[in-house]
Amino acid sequence: MTVKVIMNAKAKAGTGSEVAKFLQSIMPEARAYAGCSSAVSYQGLDDSDDVVSLQTWESREDHKKYISWRRDEGVTDELKKMLDGEPSLGYIEDADI
């Protein structure tokens, strides 16, 4: 069963659009990475410094490999410099209701 990954992040004050653009710029590589079938990012309507990424992966392990690659490439450090605190990461799956 596929896994959805939700990343919630808070951009430094007034920089939500920059963070959203950064995430949009790296989404094509995420979608091309083995195991990823979807990757999109969103910006908050009530607070434009709220940024969310929603990705669909074949497995949690595929996503962890992707995160490791992004860390090795320095992308996670670059993103963290733009944020007000650590992003939260959650794994979910279809409830099959």
Tokens, residue 94:
């279809």
pLDDT at 97: 65
CATH architecture for segment(s) 3-82: 2-Layer Sandwich (3.30)
CA 80 from centre of chain: 12
Q: For the whole model, what pTM was predicted?
A: 0.89
- Percent of the chain clearing pLDDT 70 (strictly above): 99
Tokens, residue 69:
């690659």
pLDDT(1) > 90: no
> What's the rounded Cα separation, in Å, for the pair 30 and 28?
5
CB 43 within 8 A of CB 50: yes
* Structure confidence by residue, pLDDT tens digits, 24-59: 999 999 999 999 999 999 999 999 999 999 999 999
Query: For residue 74, what are the contacts with CB-CB under 8 A and spacing of at least 6?
Result: none
Domain ranges within the chain, ordered by starting residue: 3-82
